[in-house]
Structure 1
Amino acid sequence: MNLFTLLEQQAIAQPTVTAIIEGHNKRTSFATLVERSARGAAFLEQYGLKKGDAVLVFCPMSAELYIILGALWRLGLLALFIEPSATAKQFQQCCDLCKPKAMIAPSFAFTLLRRSPSLRRIPHKLTLDMPFPTANIWWTSRCWQPKSKIIDCEPEHPALLTFTSGSTGNPKAAVRSHGFLLKQYQILAKYLQPKPQQIELTHLPIFALVNLASGRTTIIPQGKLQKPAVIAPKPIIRQIQRKQPTSILASPAFLERLLDECQRKNIALPSVRQIFSGGAPIMPRLLRRLQQFMPAASIHILYGSTEAEPISILSHAQHQLSPTQKGLCVGQPIPDIQVKVLPLQNSASSYSSYWFKAICLAPNQVGEIVVAGDHVLNSYLQGAGDRHTKIQVGETIWHRTGDAGYFDENNQLLLVGRCDECRNAESSQLYPFVLETFLQQHPQVKRAAAIHYAGKNLIFIEPVTRKTRPAPQELQELLPQPHEIHFIRKMPVDRCHNGKILYRKLLTKTVALF
């Protein structure tokens, strides 16, 4: 097997159909994508790269990125995929763990060579744009004769290595094999239901792969995708108006930017029929705004992670939040995954089947959400991070999501925050997401964070604008009991989706207050 055969099948079935639209109107067809990847494979083969070798990729989301991935997978190579939001430390980690034989990156990334011995030791370096000393130029691969052969790979053969977001600690190296990615694609395709000839706008690279395998056209948004919370919305709104995508799949921070522009200019986007969002908590206010400016769209909340995607998918139309429910509802788990809730204080890395069943919590009891299934990652590279994130129960490996939540009586899963923060709030049951949901009902609150520190219940507020702050008394009225309220200019959030609040960084600011 080889993942690339899915894309090749689309090129045979619909060669002239556009696979990717980017920039002002640059279009790449399925046939061109496959043909360019075949040339790229022949180009890479000259450097002696062979099945199983690792290649470090640092490339913005673009058609070129998927051409590179296609070339690597044709040869059975492992793509070490570093997102544009990656840090220099992650570059170093990647090289130390995997010893890549080649590096493909924009010329500006080569400035890291001076500070990184690991990068300098990579034998072959290819630049995506401007020439650089000691590096060859990737685009010369267009001149090579295409390599038609696709290397056969075992299901467990590694295909892709990415890093977790690191929003709650050090990033961990997640290796996904050809078999794992195929299973993940099959499950995502089952629930997202991508169809040929449809058009979707997304800034999330893994979901563009799902589109390519399904024959659906992907629009890559214009702008700096590494910072979705501050991306310029005007060019993207123009893309939507001109290309008329029927679907958008994006993080909450990205959607908020589009909605801010729609509100300023009183713009509606009637072509959008489906919206999928995930990667960070999705507050009720965002759902209401989406209904206002994309009135024809059905809205779906995706809950998952790098290690398990998806865990659940909730249709907003099928769920109305009850006043008695506390937390963010993410729907019932999909049938393809097992989900349990364990006590927040559990820390064991293995249980017998009897004891695991005994400690699983009943409905309406808050604990840590753990998952298991064929599309759940069982281990990180070299086992780094497994001790604190995996639980062995007989032959089954359970993954700790790090999220705290509970099942209600209808088997709906509700999130109340990250486990580290919820352990501090367990006695009072004033969980972060519960309080933050209440506070974001206020129109002048952009983000809210709840922290319990030094015996005090603290609330941090990032206002919608710097000029206007909500009155503290108005915020107190939204809370079940009094809290100490502080205003901050900018909430610390994760680098990838710009939506998950970094409570640890916020805590360092909290310590400075006392």
Structure 2
Amino acid sequence: VQIIRHAPPQEIGACSHGEFESLFVTPGVVDSIGEIVVSGKHVLQGYVNTQHNLSTKIDVDSNIWHRTGDAGYFDAGSRLWLVGRCSAAIRDCNGAVYPFQVEYAVNNVAGVHRSALVCHAGARVLVVEAIGREFRSDCVAAARCIAKFHIDRILTVRKIPMDKRHNSKVDYVALSQLLNAPGERYRMATIEWLSILFRSVRSAFQRVMHSFHQS
């Protein structure tokens, strides 16, 4: 298993070991998140549709590495952490944020059945599938645990679309279509008071953290 710098979903091509190693992310730095690539006897060497191989396989001196399309990083203990799909990353003036960095924290908040982070209308939007109305009473906890990720809005939906092949994976394409659908097809947990509360809690948390680092 290795982690390479993010690259567009296109052919990297055949390369030498030295060229391959030059693609690795630098461990221990802020931008050390990259795309997870794997190699070994258990890894499929190619697809019937050879065109698909160009964007998913890297030939390193005849040794095939598979580009998983998943983003992750190694911590100081060499443990691999998964942060979501590379294609689902949100990059804006606040930097980059990956779905799992937010979703795994929010999913542990009481009243939340499932959550998903998307970019909608140019904003970072946290979509929540709540258990009844419980989430509203725990929105402060949710805001605190994701304050550093600069979330702009929180929305609730009755059901977050899931990948039909893997019911544990959010279907981000279907979710974006749901949010873009005409009419009020989703309920907004951003009832005005909740939006104000969320922003104020986030700002307060950031001020406290800033003061802490200054002291």
Give the TM-score of the pair, scaled to structure 1.
0.32
1:476 is paired with a residue whose SS is: helix
The partner residue of 1:509 within 163, 172, 178 is 178
CA RMSD of aligned residues (A): 2.3
Q: Does 1:451 align with 2:118?
A: yes
Residue 340 in structure 1 maps to residue 7 in structure 2 = no
1:225-248 Cα deviation digits (max 9, x unpaired): xxxxxxxxxxxxxxxxxxxxxxxx
CA displacement at 1:425 relative to structure 2: 6.3
SS at match of 2:67: strand
Shift of 1:424: 3.3
1:401–1:435 CA distance, 2 compared to 1 (3 A)? same
2:97 counterpart SS class: coil
Instruction: Kindly indicate whether residue 169 of structure 2 is the aligned counterpart of residue 500 of structure 1.
Output: yes
Asked if the contact 2:90–2:119 (Cα under 8 Å) also holds between the matched residues in 1, the reply is no
C-alpha separation in 2, matches of 1:438 and 1:502: 19
Counting matched residue pairs gives 175
Question: 1:417/1:473 Cα in 2 relative to 1: closer, same or farther (>3 Å)?
Answer: same
Unaligned runs of 5+ in 2: 184-215
Alignment of structure 1 residues 83-94 onto 2, 5 Å: none
1:352 aligns with 16
1:390 to 57, 62, 68: 57
Q: Could you tell me how far 1:382 is from its partner in structure 2?
A: 3.7
**Deviation at 1:504?**
1.2
Counterpart of 1:416? 83
1:431 and 2:93 aligned: no
What is the Cα deviation at residue 353 of structure 1? 2.4
d(CA) in 2 for partners of 1:398, 1:511: 37
The equivalences for 1:100-249 within 5 A come to none
- Decide whether aligned partners of structure 1 residues 482 and 420 sit closer, same or farther in structure 2, where only a CA change above 3 A counts: closer
- For 2:128, give the aligned amino acid: I
Is 1:483 aligned with 2:152? yes
Residue type of the alignment partner of 1:348: E
One-letter code aligned to 1:511:
N
Give the letter for the 2:179 counterpart.
Answer: T
Cα distance in structure 2, aligned partners of 1:427 and 1:446: 27
Q: What's the CA shift for 1:452?
A: 2.1
SS of corresponding position for 1:356? helix
Paired with 2:35 and 2:87, the residues of 1 have a C-alpha distance of 10
The CA distance in 2 between the partners of 1:426 and 1:359, in whole Å, is: 25
Q: Which has the larger radius of gyration?
A: 1
Contact 1:344 1:423 survives alignment (8 Å)? no
One-letter code of the match for 2:161? P
| Structure 1, gaps ≥5 residues long | 1-338
TM-score for both structures, normalised by structure 2: 0.73
Q: 1:508 to 1:355 in 2, by over 3 A?
A: same
Deviates more, 1:419-428 or 1:406-415: 419-428
2:90–2:97: 8 Å Cα contact kept in structure 1? no
Q: 1:405: how far off?
A: 0.4
How far apart, CA to CA, are the structure 1 residues paired with 2:99 and 2:93?
11
Q: Residues 482, 423 of structure 1: CA spacing in aligned structure 2 closer, same or farther, 3 A cutoff?
A: closer
> Secondary structure at the residue paired with 1:355?
helix
Q: 1:352 and 1:342 mapped to 2: Cα distance?
A: 15
Could you say which residue in structure 2 is the equivalent of 1:54? none
- Contact 1:450–1:459 (8 Å) recurs in 2: yes
Shift of 1:513: 7.3
Alignment CA distance shift 1:344-1:427 (3 Å): farther
Check conservation: 2:107, 2:113, Cα contact below 8 A.
yes
Structure with the bigger RCO (C-alpha within 8 Å, sep 6+) is 2
| Counterpart amino acid of residue 512 in structure 1 | A
| 1:159-207 deviations in Å (ceiling 9; x for gaps) | xxxxxxxxxxxxxxxxxxxxxxxxxxxxxxxxxxxxxxxxxxxxxxxxx
Give the C-alpha shift of residue 384 in structure 1. Answer: 4.9
Whether contact under 8 Å (1:417, 1:433) holds in the other structure is yes
